[in-house]
Structure 1
Amino acid sequence: MAFTIPENLHPDLMPLAWLIGTWRGKGRGEYPNVPGFQFAQEVSFNHDGRAFLNYFSRSWIIDENDEIIRPAASEVGFWRVKENNVLEVLLAHNTGIAEGWVGVVKGAKIQLEMDQGYSSPSAKIVTAGSRLYGLVEGELFTSYDMAAQGQTLQAHLWSSLERQSEN
């Protein structure tokens, strides 16, 4: 599905215009001491005319027949583009974690590195992270590498999502 740039999109957000909309698809995950798993995911990027995107992601653990087993992670946040296509992202997770990310937008590719994190007293401690978002053959590809619970930075999640609608 092609996209159109909204008339009231803030000029600072033009480098992210290709993200705006709702995306759905599937992914896989793994991590030490966690068996590999599949998940369904829905991600939405929208705006209200100001210089940031609203972000919402939710996911469900699925079985080999793509049937939902249970709800999984969800996160909300804000994405802001600064000078020279530097991207600042704030995320809060349903698991009690909040993070600041910094990266760069290069066309339809975004690379982010975790800048700072906060974990509530009952949440796992994430010490580092790297995220990649890219438009690959019309689909939104995402990956998340994580260092947590004493582990080094390594692959954790990746997904491929199809555009469902524009917001």
Structure 2
Amino acid sequence: MGTPDDLAAPPIPADTADLTTGPPLHDACRPLRALVGVWRGGGEVDYPTIDGPYRFGQQLTISHDGRPFLRHEARAWLLDADGAVLRPAAWETGWWRPQPDGSLELLLSHCTGIQELFYGEAADRSWELATDSVVRTRTAKDVQAAQRSYALSEDDVLDYAEHRAMVGVAMTPHVAARLRRVR
């Protein structure tokens, strides 16, 4: 049996996080154009129910294949006080779906057994979203709601913040990160 590296690429165009290669960005995705790319940096995660705060590194990839949505993949890793990697942490994948009325949908699946549907709006180089629904497996944390904001500065720094209502705690800041475009 072969390894994944032995598998041939599917006979369809690959997605790209580079707006200069591959298919053109779909017109519907113009409000999200500035997000397309690979972002890397770090931040802090904290919550009243954890023994934190903890520092983490993160890579966010926003890519497209020419259709009217963007692919989202974010991977994080915990860091020690000196910045050395301790272990893998959060991993989420999903899709940004811009709508004709200017609203946004963001569907995310987390490796921890949680799926979230966010609705939001795009402003000038910023995006605000809140969950409409959260679905979880029986073994996942009890998450009731989440809010996310992304803001892009003129010098290509993407600030990201997340608030969560979970495990009996009302909506509270949970994650903040600063990511820089690497591609």
TM norm structure 2? 0.86
Identity of aligned residues (%): 34
- Residue 48 of structure 2 corresponds to residue 32 of structure 1: yes
Deviations 1:85-134 (A, max 9, x none): 20001000000000100000012100000110101010011111110001
Give secondary structure in 2 for the equivalent of 1:31. coil
Residue matched to 2:6: none
Q: Which has the higher strand share?
A: 1
Residue matched to 1:156: 174
- Bigger relative contact order, structure 1 or 2, given CA contacts below 8 A and separation 6+? 1
Q: Which amino acid aligns with 1:121?
A: R
- Residue 98 of structure 2 corresponds to residue 81 of structure 1: yes
Structure 1 pair 84–5 and aligned structure 2 pair: CA distance change class (3 A): farther
Please say if residues 19 and 25 of structure 2, whose CA atoms lie closer than 8 Å, have aligned partners that are also in contact.
no
Q: Which amino acid aligns with 2:66?
A: G
Residue matched to 2:77: 60
Please say if residues 5 and 17 of structure 1, whose CA atoms lie closer than 8 Å, have aligned partners that are also in contact.
no
The CA deviation at 1:83 is 2.3
- Residue 144 of structure 2 corresponds to residue 147 of structure 1: no
CA distance in 2, matches of 1:164, 1:139: 10
Residue matched to 1:126: 143
Deviations 1:108-164 (A, max 9, x none): 100000110101010011111110001024201000000000100010000000001
Q: How many residues were matched structurally?
A: 163
TM norm structure 1? 0.94
Give secondary structure in 1 for the equivalent of 2:34. helix
- Residue 128 of structure 2 corresponds to residue 111 of structure 1: yes
Larger Rg over CA atoms = 2
Q: CA RMSD of the aligned region, Å?
A: 1.3
Question: 5+ unaligned residues in a row in structure 1: which ranges?
Answer: none
Give secondary structure in 2 for the equivalent of 1:12. helix
Give secondary structure in 1 for the equivalent of 2:28. helix
CA distance in 1, matches of 2:64, 2:19: 14
Residue matched to 2:26: 10
Q: Which amino acid aligns with 2:114?
A: I
Please say if residues 79 and 90 of structure 1, whose CA atoms lie closer than 8 Å, have aligned partners that are also in contact.
yes
Please say if residues 85 and 106 of structure 1, whose CA atoms lie closer than 8 Å, have aligned partners that are also in contact.
no
CA distance in 2, matches of 1:123, 1:92: 12
The CA deviation at 1:64 is 1.5
Q: Bigger CA drift: 95-104 or 3-12?
A: 3-12
The 4+ residue runs of structure 1 with deviation greater than 4 A are 3-7
